[in-house]
């Protein structure tokens, strides 16, 4: 039987109101009525009587009775969807890193359902139980629980609330599992100020995934013709949120995807509101300490009316009409003197630089010499470029990606390229197991002696619960992981395993590009994405055209016999010699590695296409493996230039490969049979 008296007294002795837990799995207090304990703690003797006998669990009453105790809960589904990482990343972006560290590492418990409980005291009054972040149920969740349309992700237990604590177990939870202390002890429960608590609450509200409420309809103003644009509608189209909010002390903190996060006046950090969360581009405020009503959507005109005219829409429309809004003949004037002033003083700019997009300076563009492509693993991975590598299943694309990742991270030669400076690599692996990695690493020649070297720069995130990467929250998680590991290369294995939308939909891959790939590219990362081909190999990667449209390079990998693969570039946004010719990857086994071979095909001077010669050469090499070029020319017969061109073209297309023999003689070996498509089938191949 678990000792509950010792932990119960430890909690009691730091001022918490401790009660036993019911043993019916309901997680309720195990006393006839616990209302009295919201106002008066039991005595220490009562604690001893309760827990010196058979009990399965204990918990504490939150709120003033326990020293203004509050508990922040991340539900098991939130932890599984990566919200612990997301919160840390957004805390860093909003200047709340220290606050989050204090709360997350003061006193933390893990729950039987995989969730997290964080306990802390507040210097002021504690709010009631509050749900901060929710999302709509998925189709699978609705199939299991049809009436449960919404899933809670993050919530608190506050005044009037109660929480089960470690080491409760057994019949206290429907699963029979136990609550466990993950970090800290009752004496390390931290204390936050009311301002810090409010900032923490706003941070949690920013993760709410429920559809934003529509803004209240704007009252129609008199004097407007039905066929002309009203001042309010015109203002919604033309004004910017910077124009509206910044003169009143709001600061833009960061932008991810289409969503911009803002910090309210009077605060130096934290997220208080967002704009651009949906196509409607409304302001949605989390904070309860502004002129705006919290958890309410505002159009630009609605926000302007509230800030400039105390919510009087008619007066606001009249003022806008006077400055040119609602008319299409002249451009509108600035709606207030403050927004018309351009301040060139850097000290007057919002934190993180001036608002709005950054524009290219064409003078600098033309004055700067064009830099060559920096290859990290030619021809697959180039610095600051995005590559898609697709192939049929079991062709070996993951093996090649692993070879690139380990070679780049350790600074070793890779794909036949010379050694380079070691770089940090983030490898997001949603397919293989640790045993798969062990087998392949040992085949590549790595041993336990290399473990620390690999740990230093290869950051393998294997089978982790990433949020969908075709969503803003998933993109933020990947970017945070890349920043935390200082990674210059990110490998995603494979695309179909990291998206929530329909795999074959252009919208899905457009969202993946917008939410995850663009932020990584903007951060200077090279990205390699692995994907599968569809049933029709001629159509390339499985799914819509957006897969290849949104990348810089796309390569198709196909097998050419047991020890060779063909690597064909099907799409390129830039020009480089490494992309001019298809490549053959020759697989070596001791140690396991791939060497890139490219062959420049020299077309005969008369433009003759040597397809008939190609078949004759192919048949000759099949029967005489390891022969040299002169032997092939003599054995095949015919015009010498045509035979040599046929040899080059067969290597170029992946039907033949070469290797060095004795005295460095070049030997030719068959990878696949070539047959002239225009010739009559003689049936002698089978």
Q: What is the largest CA-CA distance in the chain?
A: 106
Asked if residues 92 and 220 have their Cβ atoms less than 8 Å apart, the reply is: no
Max avg pLDDT among 282-296, 360-374, 548-562: 282-296
Assess whether 80 and 108 both reside in one domain. yes
Does the residue 337 lie in any domain?
no
pLDDT, one tens digit per residue, over 337-359 is 333 333 333 333 334 434 456 77
pLDDT of 538 reads 45
pLDDT of 579 reads 67
Residue 609: which pLDDT band, with cuts at 50, 70 and 90? low
Residue 237 CB partners (closer than 8 Å, separation 6+): none
Residue 61: which pLDDT band, with cuts at 50, 70 and 90? very high
What b/e string do you get for 257-296 counting C-beta neighbours within 10 Å, with b at 16 or more?
bebbbbbbeebebbbbbbbbbeeebbbbbbbeebebeeee
What average pLDDT does the chain have? Answer: 82
pLDDT of 385 reads 92
Closest CA to 569 of 374, 383, 381, 389: 389
Per cent of the chain over pLDDT 90 is 30
CATH number at residue 483: 3.40.50.300
**Residue 364 CB-half CA count within 13 A:** 3
Asked if residues 488 and 525 have their Cβ atoms less than 8 Å apart, the reply is: yes
Of the three residues 156, 187, 205, the one that is the final residue of a domain is 205
pLDDT of 1 reads 52
pLDDT of 581 reads 61
pLDDT, one tens digit per residue, over 491-536 is 999 888 999 888 778 888 888 998 899 989 988 899 999 998 754 4
Max avg pLDDT among 11-20, 26-35, 317-326: 11-20
CATH number at residue 605: 1.10.10.10
Does the residue 495 lie in any domain?
yes
Assess whether 584 and 435 both reside in one domain. yes
**Mean of pLDDT values over 85-93:** 86
Query: Phi then psi for 420, rounded to 5 degrees?
Result: -135, -175
Residue 165: which pLDDT band, with cuts at 50, 70 and 90? very high
Assess whether 9 and 149 both reside in one domain. yes
Residue 608: which pLDDT band, with cuts at 50, 70 and 90? low
Query: Phi then psi for 350, rounded to 5 degrees?
Result: -60, 155
**pLDDT of 221 strictly over 60:** no
Q: At what angle do helices 397-410 and 434-443 cross, to 10 degrees?
A: 70
**pLDDT of 537 strictly over 80:** no
Residue 682: which pLDDT band, with cuts at 50, 70 and 90? very low
Domain that holds residue 297: 232-330
Asked if residues 55 and 20 have their Cβ atoms less than 8 Å apart, the reply is: yes
Residue 663 CB partners (closer than 8 Å, separation 6+): none
Assess whether 177 and 310 both reside in one domain. no
pLDDT, one tens digit per residue, over 170-188 is 778 777 788 999 999 999 9
Assess whether 469 and 545 both reside in one domain. yes
**pLDDT of 553 strictly over 80:** yes
Does the residue 221 lie in any domain?
no
**pLDDT of 601 strictly over 80:** no
> What is the distance between the alpha carbons of residues 115 and 518, in angstroms, rounded to a whole number?
32
SS3 state at 450: helix
Assess whether 499 and 566 both reside in one domain. yes
pLDDT, one tens digit per residue, over 395-406 is 888 999 999 999
**Mean of pLDDT values over 33-46:** 92
Max avg pLDDT among 80-84, 204-208, 361-365, 426-430: 426-430
pLDDT, one tens digit per residue, over 95-142 is 899 999 999 999 999 999 899 999 999 999 999 999 999 899 988 888
Q: What Å distances lie between residue 248 and 240, 241, 339, 350, 568, CA to CA?
A: 14, 11, 10, 12, 56
Asked if residues 62 and 162 have their Cβ atoms less than 8 Å apart, the reply is: yes
Of the three residues 532, 563, 598, the one that is the final residue of a domain is 598
Asked if residues 563 and 375 have their Cβ atoms less than 8 Å apart, the reply is: no
Residue 435 CB partners (closer than 8 Å, separation 6+): none
**Mean of pLDDT values over 225-249:** 82
> What angle (nearest 5°) sits at the alpha carbon of residue 153, between those of residues 213 and 129?
85
Residue 246 CB partners (closer than 8 Å, separation 6+): 252, 339, 350, 355
Assess whether 462 and 604 both reside in one domain. no
Assess whether 385 and 498 both reside in one domain. yes
Assess whether 592 and 607 both reside in one domain. no
Per cent of the chain over pLDDT 70 is 85
Assess whether 683 and 644 both reside in one domain. yes
Asked if residues 87 and 100 have their Cβ atoms less than 8 Å apart, the reply is: yes
pLDDT top residue among 304 and 538: 304
Residue 116: exposed, middle, or buried by beta-carbon count in 10 A (0-12, 13-18, 19+)? Answer: buried
Does the residue 463 lie in any domain?
yes
Q: Which residues pair with 157 in a beta bridge?
A: 71
Integer-rounded Cα radius of gyration of the chain: 33
Assess whether 268 and 316 both reside in one domain. yes
pLDDT, one tens digit per residue, over 266-307 is 887 888 899 987 777 899 988 888 889 888 889 999 999 999
**pLDDT of 328 strictly over 60:** no
Tokens of 588: 């070596």
**Residue 191 CB-half CA count within 13 A:** 9
Does the residue 459 lie in any domain?
yes
Does the residue 289 lie in any domain?
yes
**Whose structure tokens read 């058979």?**
54
Assess whether 166 and 274 both reside in one domain. no
Does the residue 341 lie in any domain?
no
Does the residue 98 lie in any domain?
yes
Count of domains observed in the chain: 4
Of the three residues 565, 598, 631, the one that is the final residue of a domain is 598
Q: What Å distances lie between residue 584 and 85, 537, 559, 594, 671, CA to CA?
A: 41, 18, 10, 9, 10
pTM of the model: 0.54
Residue 332: which pLDDT band, with cuts at 50, 70 and 90? very low
Q: What is the DSSP string of 566-617?
A: EEEEEEESS--GGGSS-EEEEEEETTEEEEEEE------TT----HHHHHHH
Residue 33's CB is within 10 A of a number of other CB atoms, namely 7
């Amino acid at each position: 039987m678990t000792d509950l008296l010792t932990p119960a007294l430890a909690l009691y002795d730091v001022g918490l109101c401790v009660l036993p837990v019911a043993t019916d799995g309901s997680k309720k207090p195990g006393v006839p009525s616990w209302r009295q304990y919201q106002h008066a703690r039991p005595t220490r003797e009562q604690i001893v009587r309760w827990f010196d006998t058979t009990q399965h669990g204990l918990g504490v009453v939150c709120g003033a009775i326990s020293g203004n105790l509050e508990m922040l809960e991340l539900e098991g589904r939130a932890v599984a969807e990566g919200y612990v990482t997301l919160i840390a990343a957004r805390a860093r972006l909003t200047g709340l890193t220290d606050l989050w560290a204090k709360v997350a590492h003061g006193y933390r418990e893990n729950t039987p359902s995989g969730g997290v409980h964080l306990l802390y005291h507040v210097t002021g009054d504690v709010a009631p139980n509050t749900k901060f972040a929710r999302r709509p149920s998925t189709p699978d969740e609705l199939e299991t629980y049809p009436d449960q349309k919404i899933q809670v992700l993050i919530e608190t237990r506050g005044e009037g609330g109660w929480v089960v604590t470690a080491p409760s177990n057994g019949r206290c939870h429907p699963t029979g599992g136990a609550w466990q202390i993950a970090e800290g002890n009752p004496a390390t429960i931290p204390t936050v100020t009311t301002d810090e608590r409010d900032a923490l609450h706003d941070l949690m509200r920013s993760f709410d995934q429920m559809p934003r409420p529509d803004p209240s309809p704007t009252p129609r103003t008199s004097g407007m013709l039905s066929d002309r644009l009203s001042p309010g509608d015109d203002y919604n189209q033309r004004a910017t949120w910077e124009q509206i909010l910044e003169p009143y002390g709001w600061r833009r903190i960061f932008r991810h995807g289409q969503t911009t996060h803002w910090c309210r006046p009077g605060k130096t950090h934290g997220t208080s509101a967002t704009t651009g969360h949906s196509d409607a581009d409304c302001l949605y405020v989390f904070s309860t300490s502004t002129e705006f009503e919290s958890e309410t959507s505002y159009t630009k005109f609605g926000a302007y009316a509230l800030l400039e005219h105390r919510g009087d829409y008619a007066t606001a429309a009249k003022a806008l009409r006077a400055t040119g809004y609602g008319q299409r003949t002249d451009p509108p004037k600035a709606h207030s003197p403050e927004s018309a002033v351009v301040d060139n003083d850097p000290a007057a700019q919002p934190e993180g630089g001036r608002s709005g997009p950054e524009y290219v300076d064409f003078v600098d563009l033309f004055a700067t010499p064009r830099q060559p492509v920096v290859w990290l693993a030619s021809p697959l991975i180039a610095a600051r470029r995005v590559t898609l590598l697709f192939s049929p299943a079991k062709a070996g694309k993951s093996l090649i990606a692993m070879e690139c990742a380990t070679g780049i991270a350790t600074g070793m030669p890779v794909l036949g390229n010379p050694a380079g400076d070691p770089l940090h690599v983030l490898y997001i692996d949603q397919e293989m197991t640790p045993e798969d990695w062990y087998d392949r690493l040992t085949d590549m020649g790595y041993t336990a002696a290399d473990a620390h070297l690999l740990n230093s720069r290869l950051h393998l995130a294997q089978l982790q619960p990433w949020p969908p990467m075709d969503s803003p929250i998933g993109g933020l998680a990947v970017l945070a992981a890349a920043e935390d590991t200082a990674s210059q290369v990110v490998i995603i294995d494979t695309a179909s395993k990291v998206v929530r939308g329909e795999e074959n939909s252009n919208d899905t891959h457009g969202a993946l590009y917008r939410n995850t790939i663009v932020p990584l590219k903007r951060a200077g990362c090279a990205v390699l994405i692995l994907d599968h081909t569809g049933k029709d190999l001629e159509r390339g990667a499985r799914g819509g055209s957006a897969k290849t449209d949104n990348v810089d390079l796309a390569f198709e990998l196909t097998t050419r016999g047991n020890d060779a693969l063909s690597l064909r570039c099907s799409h390129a946004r830039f020009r480089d010699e490494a992309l001019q010719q298809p490549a053959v990857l020759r697989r070596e086994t001791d140690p396991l590695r791939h060497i890139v071979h490219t062959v420049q095909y020299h077309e005969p001077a008369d433009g003759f296409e040597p397809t008939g010669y190609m078949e004759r050469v192919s048949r000759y090499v099949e029967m005489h493996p390891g022969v040299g070029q002169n032997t092939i020319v003599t054995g095949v017969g015919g015009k010498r230039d045509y035979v040599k061109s046929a040899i080059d073209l067969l290597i170029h297309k992946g039907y033949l490969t070469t290797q060095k023999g004795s005295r460095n003689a070049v030997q030719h070996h068959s990878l696949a049979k070539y047959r002239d498509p225009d010739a009559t089938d003689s049936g002698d191949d089978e």
